[in-house]
Structure 1
Amino acid sequence: GYELLEPNADKSLAWNFLYLMTGNEPDDYAVETFDAALILHADHELNASTFSARVTAATLSDLHSAVCTAINTLKGPLHGGANEAVMKMLEEIGSVDNVEHYMEQLSANKQKVMGFGHRVYKAKDPRAVILERMSKELGKRADDSKWFEMTHRVEEIFQPTVASKGIFPNVDFYSASAYHVMGIPRDLFTAIFACSRVVGWTAHLFEQYANNRLFRPSSDYVGPTGRKWQPITER
């Protein structure tokens, strides 16, 4: 087996996370980047996972159950799971030279480019701007810039085709390459998102409990009317 690592109480959460996960003491810029990523993912209005958590809390279910609801919602590839999907795309591309061909294939097959689009932002996600800069610098310092360069090339090719629709890179787009260069496995990307977002979830939940109202949206039936009932035995 491996020797069990001990956290360093004199270091930050970001430093200890990277150290305990990789077994190597992270450099200052990696710590700064990871700390920034945690802050950028901590909360973001009534996104799908936060909204679902508040719906659960509104029934006066307990805090743990409400957070579990949020985690289950975050798992979806159109929410927190998108950063994993971006990394999978980069792994499939393999090199900067292959980006253009890969994008042509996506377009021909009418497949989504993950890491683009946001229900709130109709311009480039300001969180993506920060992570783009930090991902680029991480790549330079680690002498492993191909992940950033592939990501940037995808943006260069795809962005002009969807800008008129208000579709731009979101927070997931550049977080994938940044996490990868820091040595974080792809399978942990969404889990890290949850570790960060639990701060926002719990803040929303305390607010919900303090002034609770049950969520009960109405819905209108728009299906066929005037249909005749037929007994089961005659069907």
Structure 2
Amino acid sequence: MSTTKGLEGVIAAQSSISSIIDDKLTYVGYTIDDLAENASFEEVVYLLWNLKLPNKSELDQIRKDLVTNMQVPDAIIDHLRSYDLSKVHPMAALRTAISFLGVLDEEADNLDEDANKRKAIRLQAQVATIVAAFSRIRKGQEPVKPKDDLTFAENFLYMLNGKNPEAIEVEAIDKALVLHADHELNASTFTARVCVATLSDIYSGITAAIGALKGFLHGGANERVMAMLSEIGEEENAIPYIKEKLANKELIMGMGHRVYRTGDPRAKHLQRMSSELTKLTGQEKWYNMSVKIEEYIKKEKGLPANVDFYSASVYHSLGIDHDLFTPIFAVSRMSGWIAHILEQYENNRLIRPRAEYVGPEIQTFIPLENRD
């Protein structure tokens, strides 16, 4: 029996949802570059769930379905209010809120295809509301209800800030949502598929996925990137800081990727958005600092930036709290998780790998009174 640490390079499933081949990322055969420049997040959600782009009436319908399902049960808001939110990480709050949604949903254990599609809409719509409500409640503000005439990205920013967003803000969030929507069998997606392969419910699968995304080697990386940039402070400190980190063999967050070798194709889109937003908000040092760090790491270690690296300065420029970066990742990746869960249900087989045993040989049991 051969083993691969971290399952690196192991093919664990067949999927029609997304692919990473020769460092090109596609959703259902459409390149991420094409989608990032041309598609709205709602179009991508439809694409991932239905394996085709929507026509106009289909797009209108999914937009309507999402906005009309955005309001969460009052019990969820009351639950968020019950926390000491100054001490709770928003990913922990989100994980628990999603699990609670499953308790409240009468269809939670109904695994019929139609029921799962209805739950999919509710989950995708309500995850944005939960993240925004958490942010406002911990600031002593009242949650904001969504508006029927706004897109998904517009509504998220509206519920977060309590005012209609600027066009550049909507473009940035919509693009980020598209770029983070799916990424083949990443850690959280694989976790979701393992969970529902037992024929557990969709809420359990999503809760498990959020638990995996919470880790800083996965979704938490963008938060760590901004913490690093904040610690560096000024452009002139960037290279000395990185040199010291490398000398101490410390990990530089947001650089390199397990799958990509020549570079993450998503990064350039958020790099351009970071350049525009930091210039617009007078915070160009964050972009300039990021570019210097990427160029130095690429030269010294051959590692280009991944999608987390520039998403940090994009979200910071939008005035978003740093610990909300990963929950926003979850708002987007919900679409991919759901797509993979639905695909797993369609052609299910329990995911049960083996482990290579490296412990002691067969031993003889020693009675307690004879043990040293």
Q: TM-score, normalised by structure 2?
A: 0.60
Alignment of 1:106-125 (within 5 A): 106-125=245-264
Structure 1 portions without partners, runs of 5+: none
Question: Which moved further from structure 2: 119-128 or 4-13?
Answer: 4-13
Partner SS for 2:266: helix
| Match of residue 89 from structure 1 | 228
Structure 2 residue 356 is the aligned partner of structure 1 residue 217 = no
Partner SS for 1:215: coil
Match 2:279 to one of 140, 145, 149: 140
2:239, 2:280 → 1: CA distance? 26
Question: Which moved further from structure 2: 137-146 or 173-182?
Answer: 137-146
After TM superposition, what 4+ stretches of structure 1 lie above 6 angstroms from structure 2?
none
**In the superposition, relative to structure 1, how do residues 139 and 28 fare at CA in structure 2: closer, same or farther (>3 Å)?**
same
| Match of residue 173 from structure 1 | 309
Match 1:48 to one of 158, 170, 187: 187
> 1:2-28 deviations in whole A, cap 9, x for unaligned?
566443322222122223222343221
2:281, 2:258 → 1: CA distance? 34
Check whether the contact 2:194–2:350 (CA below 8 A) recurs between aligned residues: yes
Question: Which moved further from structure 2: 95-104 or 224-233?
Answer: 224-233
Check whether the contact 1:86–1:114 (CA below 8 A) recurs between aligned residues: yes
**In the superposition, relative to structure 1, how do residues 25 and 146 fare at CA in structure 2: closer, same or farther (>3 Å)?**
farther
Question: Which moved further from structure 2: 224-233 or 186-195?
Answer: 224-233
Aligned pairs, number: 232
Check whether the contact 1:49–1:71 (CA below 8 A) recurs between aligned residues: yes
Partner SS for 1:126: coil
Report how far residue 182 of structure 1 moved. Answer: 0.5
> 1:18-43 deviations in whole A, cap 9, x for unaligned?
23222343221121111000011111
Across the aligned residues of Structure 1 and Structure 2, the Cα RMSD in angstroms comes to 1.7
Amino acid at match of 2:233: G
Partner SS for 1:124: coil
2:193, 2:143 → 1: CA distance? 38
Structure 2 residue 297 is the aligned partner of structure 1 residue 161 = no
Alignment of 1:1-235 (within 5 A): 2=141, 5-163=144-302, 167-225=303-361, 227=363, 229-233=365-369, 234-235=371-372
Percent pairwise identity: 53
Amino acid at match of 2:222: N
Partner SS for 1:90: helix
1:63, 1:5 → 2: CA distance? 27
Report how far residue 226 of structure 1 moved. Answer: 5.7
Check whether the contact 1:22–1:183 (CA below 8 A) recurs between aligned residues: no
Partner SS for 2:343: helix
2:146, 2:355 → 1: CA distance? 51
1:4, 1:100 → 2: CA distance? 42
1:2, 1:186 → 2: CA distance? 18
Amino acid at match of 2:146: P
Structure 2 portions without partners, runs of 5+: 1-139
**In the superposition, relative to structure 1, how do residues 98 and 64 fare at CA in structure 2: closer, same or farther (>3 Å)?**
same
Report how far residue 229 of structure 1 moved. Answer: 4.3
1:57, 1:178 → 2: CA distance? 34
2:259, 2:351 → 1: CA distance? 22
